Amino acid sequence: MKALITGAGGFVAPYLRKAVSDDLNCEITFTGRAGGKHDKGNHEFREADILDPAALLSLLQDEHPHYIFHLAAQSSVARSWKDPAETVNVNIKGALCLLDAVRALDYSPRVIMVGSGEEYGHIRPDDVPIKEGQFLRPGNIYAATKAGQNMMAYVYAKAYDMDVIMTRSFNHMGPGQKPVFVASDFCRQAVRIEKGFQDNVIRVGNLEAKRDFTDVRDVVKAYTALAQFGIPGETYNVGRGEPTAIKDLLSMITDLSTADIKVEVDEKKLRPIDIPEIYPDVSKIYAATGWKAHIPVKQTLLDMLEYYRNNPEILSDEG
């Protein structure tokens, strides 16, 4: 069997390739933009523009994958505020191009469309833990585009009898994640302080928000479990199922650091809108697949700190 993974240059792709190889025993092809930095490993890489449906169709016809994992996305909330047009193009138009290419095939591969817990948006206290049927109130540009992707995938699954499964994946983290994401940003700053690259202050945004944080190595296992046992047309929450306050995340990082660290609020890190608490009910995916998160948050943070310690070349101001 074969699997195709879009978004080869992203944080999740290397972890997903390992999980697909281990759990599905598939030959893997992964795709990304020309000129991107891609860890090819032992797998085939094919250049592909997610906004070119003809090129995608040609690729799918050549590769004939049994499974397609759609990771390609603009996944930063902060960046979505700065560049909404790019976020719409990649997250909505890109998903539509892929769905149209799959629909044109003469067979029906299973497609895992990776979405986001951000889609739920403005959550009231009595909405948590959030079930998949919760009304969507996206609170930022990224969330709105991912909600649109999910709705299109559902329509295609029902209207064209396509084998499409959707996720709403909550915050995931791990070694190698870009520092535009909160846990990686804190870990990078902590190691920069340890190595004398900055003063002993970690600069932060809103510390009161509570989010569900899951290790990326657990998250990709959810995707391979859904590839085997998910139901077409259904959406599944993927997450730990419990919240962690950003301030507690930071506290764990400072405890694990060898440096004496102080904390200051940086106004530039505050978002125009920030939802106080978001975490999912994960009973649906557990009932369907038996999957649940296993790696403790503290272990993930330690691994992230070690990644930065072992890769000092990425600790520059531009990193």
Quick one: tokens of 316? 């520059």
Domain boundary among 223, 238, 253: 238
Sheet strands side by side (includes 164-169): 44-47, 27-32, 2-6, 67-70, 110-116, 164-169, 235-238
Count of structural domains, the chain:
2
Confirm whether 162 is domain-assigned: yes
User: Are 135 and 271 within one domain?
Assistant: no
Which domain CATH number covers 304?
3.90.25.10
Residue 251 has pLDDT above 90, yes or no: yes
Task: Give residue 10's domain range.
Answer: 2-172+214-238
- Position 196 scores a pLDDT of 94
Q: Are residues 52 and 146 in the same domain?
A: yes
Q: Are residues 265 and 223 in the same domain?
A: no
- Interatomic CA distance for residues 240 and 221, integer angstroms: 13
Average pLDDT of span 254-265: 94
**Is the omega angle on the peptide bond into residue 129 within 30 degrees of 0, that is, cis?**
yes
Residues 189 and 232 in one domain: no
Based on the domain organization, do 12 and 135 belong to the same domain?
yes
Q: Which residue has the higher pLDDT, 317 or 246?
A: 246
Indicate if 102 and 120 belong to the same structural domain. yes
Q: Hey, which bits of 172-304 come out as E strands?
A: 172-173, 201-204, 210-211, 214-215, 235-238, 244-245, 262-265, 277-278
Return d(Cα 291, Cα 215) in angstroms, integer: 13
Regarding whether 196 and 65 lie in a shared domain, the answer is no
49 occurs within a structural domain:
yes
Amino acid identity at 110 = R
pLDDT at 316: 80
Extract the tokens encoding 200.
């002993």
Asked if residue 286 belongs to a domain, the reply is no
Tens digits of per-residue pLDDT, 112-163? 999 999 899 888 889 999 999 999 999 899 999 999 999 999 999 999 999 9
Tell me whether residue 283 is in a domain.
Answer: no
For residue 157, what pLDDT is reported? 98
In this prediction, residue 39 carries a pLDDT of 55
> Do 206 and 67 lie in a common domain?
no
Residue with tokens 């990649």: 90
Tokens of 139: 């609170």
Is there a single domain that holds both residue 145 and residue 35?
yes
The reply to whether 193 falls in a domain is yes
What's the rounded mean pLDDT across residues 239-244? 96
Sign of the four-CA dihedral 207, 209, 213, 216: negative
- Within a domain: 287: no
Residue 34 has pLDDT above 70, yes or no: no
Tokens encoding 204: 């932060």
Please check whether residue 218 lies inside any domain of the structure. yes
Paired residues of 2 in beta bridges: 27
Q: Percent of the chain having pLDDT more than 70? A: 93
One domain, residues 131 and 223: yes
pTM: 0.92
Q: Edge-to-edge strand order for the sheet containing 210-211? A: 244-245, 210-211, 277-278
Q: Do both 141 and 69 map to the same domain?
A: yes
Q: How far is 3 from 30, CA to CA, in rounded Å?
A: 8
* Banded pLDDT at 203 (limits 50, 70, 90): confident
Give the closest residue to 223 by CA, choosing from 242, 211, 239: 239
Let me know if residue 285 belongs to a domain: no
Asked whether residue 234 falls in the same domain as residue 302, the answer is: no
Report residue 55 CA to chain centroid gap. 25
Residue 265's pLDDT is what?
A: 83
Contact predicate 58/32, CB 8 Å: no
φ/ψ (deg, to 5) at 18: -65, -45
Could you tell me the CATH number of the domain that includes residue 48? Answer: 3.40.50.720
